[in-house]
């Protein structure tokens, strides 16, 4: 389910059912000011002086619905073009103004909007207001920019749509098969055929028609002086003229459905069939919107939801379930669906799904079920408002989809007021079986000869769309450097105040770390335990992962269903995870409910049941998920990575398990693993958010003080010392739309004295849009939607990986480019400007991670399991800033050693061409049908 972007509501209280006697959920308001410039620009401002940052968001009221005939994907193409040149800014200058000062930028295209946003230190605000005005007034749309970004958009489409097993279903088929007239039937991402048909004149006309002040909303949230901000907005935007021509409006109206129908769609690399039922729904501003959002939550929000409980948990018919109240400015869609479990058919799924819809139409939901659904929505709303970006996003979304920013403060109250009768009423009104559209999504091999089912990659019809009117707008060109207007100067820095962690060890040995980070009534509590995949016994890869899958599925007399209902009724999220060297339980809960939620968390950690039926259920789901992962190039490359790099060590196996290893794991294995590693003197509890140290320690003692310490010392952490020679491996995945390319090798541990130097070296190489890999692969050549690298330093060792996805034919070229960039960094130092910029980007990203309770808890917990004291939190930025250019070169040679890197390529080998094998004569090609990540050769014997 996609939770709606609910605005942050006026203070409201949702009272629980009297018998439950739970504390009320309080949702504070977003406070904002609104005004309009004379040229029509709408401005929304939300001030928060507790943050050192500010976000600037420009929401243009043009989206995929405005794409002209034969040009689907135009609005999305402009999402990319707006990051190129203006009259005064050379290409990629937006990244200089954001990433290089410790901020970030991005954008998204939806049906009704194209939105651009930045998060930067507050002293950069004037510069970004100037830059957004430049993008509106003088964007340079020339042949070079147009062709380079069109190539990148095509790679994004291949990655998101054509290379993912269900990409066609979610990006193309659902909307196209559901709408008949309104432009929402065409995907925002467009189609390669339409993109290739576009010309420069079309693109320039589109910008002139829609990118104007009276078609935009500027949202600013964070630390600013309101008077100064208003003066800057007037200065840079006030002179922008309002065009005389009216903004073309989409007037198409979707006709009511009068019949039902069934559509069969097909895609390559579809391991499990899927079924979706769609119905037409009202616009987002409809009075029925809140009840439809609650209905959506009743169906699929959490493990206690109807579709999950009945179809995934009880009947084991489905591997995944989903639903959405997908409501837009002009019309809406409601859909529910499932991806079948292995061995189940689409017809079985359709029958079960129809039965669930009939049940929600036949009788009102119960009071407790309704409370859980609404609490899920309200708690998620609190989490979304934790950042200035989330608050600004709520305001912008309310304007675009509902026409009123105040809906950001009233929609949540509407959700809280929904009754059982309301949910049944909208189910009866909209989810009518007589008007349903059924989509069965099947593997291409199942298509009958001569079948006329919809072709999943085909664009939707252009009937009823608004053509581009003629325009005589002036064409902007990039001025010579000497004639360009320079960005305004930065203001005085606003110093960040980092949380101060406090630590205490309970009598049973549990280490507790508490850090107050917010006054928002939200608490994160993470329990970290060493072990992880490194503790998997030989022949039982995936054991640690299965433990994390099953540990929340029953504990201390509570069944899996009771745990799900109890936590979700509190509006809490409780999830377990497993990584290479540790496992974790992560809890997010509103502060008043923290004590009750922590009690459930403690039961799960201390007294898991590991019921045989829960293990069997989790095993089947894990095998189904592997079947899906084995059809995705990026996922599959990640599965092969550690077995290749760490061969012969405790990490030299598939962390998620394999089709051979998972069936060999029994209940006794899970119980032994948990009893060995999950003990109080081997664990760290981190509590962050709206909590003082005294309150945090009291909560820890109350929940975990009775956890008994077993006799004897905790187990030793497995030693990981990789020594395997690098290899060159390609996995043949016939029919996939893209290839994943990875260069990977062992690197340093977290305790290595050169850690910070290596971290900066990795940032220079591949840590962001402005880093070398992305510049060479995406920006200069348009070969990928994105290229980057990551240094994962662990307690015992580390993993370095550079990666990108590209069209199959370009896999060899991308591999060579990445290898050359890695080698170049080891040969010469970055210049002072590049080094300063990349360090700023690293420190800025670190600060944004600490801005949420969950992010701070994860950072502190990871430090603890890596053996680093919590005081490192405060000195981390200074240690990054102290790294020199020569140290970067030394780290590149030692920690990112090109001689130790293995090459992994996953794609359609028939399209690689001879260049890949010629450049890598030792390349081993393994058919995906023979892949075995636990084998020393990575392949099963035929």
Burial letters for 180-205: b for 16+ Cβ neighbours within 10 Å, e otherwise? bebbbbbbbbbbbebbeebeeebbbb
pLDDT at 455: 44
Q: What values do phi and psi take at 108, rounded to 5?
A: -150, 155
Give the angle subtended at the CA of 759 by the CAs of 758 and 764, to the nearest 5°: 95
pLDDT at 21: 44
pLDDT at 282: 98
Q: How far apart are CA 75 and CA 47, in angstroms?
A: 30
pLDDT at 8: 26
The candidate with the shortest Cα–Cα distance to 205, out of 466, 468, 477, is 468
pLDDT at 804: 97
pLDDT at 571: 93
Residues linked to residue 59 through DSSP beta bridges, in sequence order? 115, 217
User: Per residue in 887-903, pLDDT tens?
Assistant: 999 999 999 999 999 99
pLDDT at 191: 86
Is 883 in contact with 780 (CB distance < 8 Å)?
Answer: no
The candidate with the shortest Cα–Cα distance to 25, out of 371, 303, 366, is 371
How far from each other are the two terminal CA atoms of the chain, in whole angstroms? 41
Is 811 in contact with 907 (CB distance < 8 Å)?
Answer: yes
- The conformation of residue 570, written as its DSSP 8-state character, comes to T
Strands (DSSP E) found in 747-886: 787-793, 798-806
- Antiparallel, parallel or unpaired: β 728-732 and 924-927: parallel
Q: How far is CA 744 from the centre of its chain?
A: 23
Question: Which pair of tokens denotes residue 927?
Answer: 């058919």
- Antiparallel, parallel or unpaired: β 332-340 and 274-281: antiparallel
Strands (DSSP E) found in 399-473: 437-443
- Edge-to-edge strands of the sheet including 502-505? 502-505, 511-516, 684-689, 522-530, 582-590, 573-578
Output the CA torsion 16→22→26→27 (10° steps): -70
- Categorise residue 190: left if φ over 0, alpha if ψ from -120 to 50, beta otherwise: left
For every residue of 499-531, DSSP letters joined together read ---EEEE-TTS-EEEEEE--SSSEEEEEEEEE-
Query: Which long-range contacts (C-beta less than 8 Å, at least 24 apart) are formed by 610-616?
Result: 610/550, 610/551, 610/554, 610/667, 610/670, 610/671, 610/674, 611/553, 611/554, 611/667, 612/667, 614/550, 614/553, 614/554, 614/560, 615/546, 615/550, 615/665, 615/666, 615/667, 615/670
pLDDT at 410: 95
pLDDT at 648: 94
Sign of the Cα pseudo-torsion (905, 909, 914, 918, in order): positive
3-state SS record for 244-310: CCCCCCCCCCCCCCCCCEEEEEEECCCCCCEEEEEEEECCCCCCCHHHHHHHHHHHHCCCCCHHHHH
- Antiparallel, parallel or unpaired: β 511-516 and 684-689: parallel
pLDDT at 471: 72
Give the angle subtended at the CA of 374 by the CAs of 368 and 377, to the nearest 5°: 145
Q: Give the SS3 label for residue 211.
A: coil
CA distances from 226 to 53, 221, 387, 389, 465 (A): 15, 11, 19, 18, 41
Alpha helices (H) along 557-611? 560-569, 594-606
Length of the chain: 942
3-state SS record for 713-749: CCCCCCCCCCCCCCCEEEEECCCCCCEEEEEEEECCC
Query: Which ranges of the chain have pLDDT less than 70?
Result: 1-24, 452-465
Q: How far is CA 259 from the centre of its chain?
A: 37
pLDDT at 17: 33
Neighbours of 828 (CB within 10 A): 11
Output the CA torsion 461→80→61→158 (10° steps): 30
């Amino acid at each position: 389910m996609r939770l709606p972007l609910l605005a942050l509501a006026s203070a409201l209280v949702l009272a629980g059912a009297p018998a439950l006697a739970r504390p009320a959920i309080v949702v504070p308001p977003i406070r904002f000011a609104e005004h309009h410039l004379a040229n029509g620009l709408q401005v929304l401002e939300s001030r928060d002086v507790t943050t050192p940052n500010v976000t600037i968001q420009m929401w243009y009221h043009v989206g995929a619905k405005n794409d002209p005939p034969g040009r689907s994907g135009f609005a999305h193409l402009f999402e990319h073009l707006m990051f190129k040149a203006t009259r005064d800014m050379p290409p990629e200058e937006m990244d200089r103004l954001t990433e290089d000062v410790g901020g970030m930028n991005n954008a998204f295209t939806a049906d009704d909007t194209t939105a651009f946003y930045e998060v930067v230190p507050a002293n950069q605000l004037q510069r970004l207001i100037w830059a957004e005005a430049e993008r509106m007034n003088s964007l340079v749309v020339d042949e070079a920019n147009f062709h380079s970004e069109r190539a990148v958009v095509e790679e994004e489409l291949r990655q998101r749509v054509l290379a993912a097993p269900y990409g066609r279903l979610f990006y193309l088929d659902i909307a196209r098969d559901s709408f008949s007239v309104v432009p929402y039937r065409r995907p925002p991402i467009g189609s390669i055929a339409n993109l290739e048909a576009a010309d420069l004149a079309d693109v320039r006309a589109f910008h002139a028609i829609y990118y104007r002040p009276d078609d935009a909303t500027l949202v600013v949230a964070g630390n600013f002086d309101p008077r100064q901000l208003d003066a800057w907005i007037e200065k840079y935007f006030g002179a922008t003229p309002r065009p005389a021509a009216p903004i073309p409006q989409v007037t198409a109206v979707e006709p009511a459905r009068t019949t039902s129908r069934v559509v069969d769609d097909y895609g390559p690399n579809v391991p499990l069939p899927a079924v979706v039922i769609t119905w037409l729904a009202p616009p987002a501003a409809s009075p029925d919107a809140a009840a439809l959002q609650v209905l959506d939550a009743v169906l699929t929000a959490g493990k206690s939801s109807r579709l999950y409980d009945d179809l995934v948990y009880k009947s084991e018919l489905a591997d995944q379930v989903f639903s959405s109240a997908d409501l837009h400015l002009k019309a809406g869609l409601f859909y529910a669906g499932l991806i079948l479990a292995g061995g189940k058919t689409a017809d079985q799924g359709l029958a079960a799904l129809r039965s669930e819809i009939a049940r929600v139409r036949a009788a009102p939901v119960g009071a407790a079920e309704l409370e859980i659904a609404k609490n899920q929505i309200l708690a998620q709303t609190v989490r979304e408002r934790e950042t200035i970006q989330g608050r600004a996003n709520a305001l912008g979304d309310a304007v675009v989809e509902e026409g009123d920013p105040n809906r950001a403060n009233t929609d949540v109250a509407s959700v809280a007021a929904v009754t059982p009768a309301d949910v049944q009423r909208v189910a009866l009104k909209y989810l009518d079986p007589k008007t349903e559209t059924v989509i069965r999504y099947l593997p291409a091999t199942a298509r009958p000869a001569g079948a006329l089912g919809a072709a999943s990659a085909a664009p939707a019809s252009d009937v009823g769309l608004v053509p581009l009117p003629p325009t005589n707008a002036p064409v902007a060109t990039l001025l010579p450097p000497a004639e360009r207007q320079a960005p305004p100067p930065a203001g005085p820095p606003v110093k960040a105040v980092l949380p101060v962690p406090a630590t205490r060890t309970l009598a049973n040995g549990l280490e507790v770390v508490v850090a107050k980070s917010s006054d928002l009534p939200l608490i994160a509590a993470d329990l970290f335990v060493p072990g992880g995949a490194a503790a998997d016994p030989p022949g039982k890869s995936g054991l640690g992962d299965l433990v994390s899958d099953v540990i929340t599925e029953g504990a201390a007399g509570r069944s899996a269903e009771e745990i799900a209902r109890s936590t979700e009724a509190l509006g809490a999220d409780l999830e377990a995870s497993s990584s290479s060297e540790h496992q974790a339980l992560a809890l997010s809960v509103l502060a008043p409910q923290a004590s009750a939620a922590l009690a459930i968390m403690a039961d799960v950690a201390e007294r898991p049941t590991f019921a045989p039926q829960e293990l069997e259920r989790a095993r089947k789901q894990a095998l189904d998920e592997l079947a899906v992962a084995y059809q995705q190039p990026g996922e599959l490359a990640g599965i092969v990575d550690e077995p290749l790099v760490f061969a012969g060590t405790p990490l030299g196996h598939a962390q998620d398990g394999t089709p051979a290893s998972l069936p060999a794991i029994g209940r006794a294995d899970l119980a032994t693993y948990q009893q060995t590693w999950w003990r109080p003197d081997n664990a760290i509890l981190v509590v962050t958010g709206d909590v003082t140290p005294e309150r945090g320690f009291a909560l820890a003692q109350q929940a975990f003080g009775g956890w008994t310490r077993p006799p004897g010392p905790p187990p030793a952490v497995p030693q990981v010392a990789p020594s395997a020679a690098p290899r060159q491996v390609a996995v043949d995945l016939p029919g996939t739309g893209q290839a994943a390319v990875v260069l990977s090798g062992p690197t340093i541990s977290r305790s290595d004295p050169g850690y910070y130097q290596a971290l900066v070296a990795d940032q220079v190489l591949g840590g962001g849009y402005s880093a070398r890999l992305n510049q060479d692969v995406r920006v200069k050549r348009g070969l990928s939607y994105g290229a980057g690298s990551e240094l994962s330093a662990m307690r015992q060792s580390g993993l370095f990986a550079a990666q990108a996805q590209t069209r199959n034919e370009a896999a060899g070229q991308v591999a060579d480019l990445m290898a050359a960039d890695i080698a170049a960094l080891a040969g010469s130092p970055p210049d002072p400007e590049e080094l300063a910029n990349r360090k700023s980007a690293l420190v800025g990203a670190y600060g944004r991670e600490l801005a949420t309770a969950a992010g701070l808890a994860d950072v502190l917990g990871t430090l603890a399991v890596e053996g680093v004291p919590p005081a490192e939190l405060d000195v981390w930025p200074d240690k990054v800033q102290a790294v020199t250019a020569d140290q970067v070169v030394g780290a590149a040679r030692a920690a990112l050693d090109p001689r130790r890197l293995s090459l992994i390529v996953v794609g359609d080998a028939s399209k690689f061409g001879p260049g890949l094998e010629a450049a890598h004569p030792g390349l081993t090609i393994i058919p995906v049908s023979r892949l075995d990540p636990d084998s020393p050769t990575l392949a099963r014997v035929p």
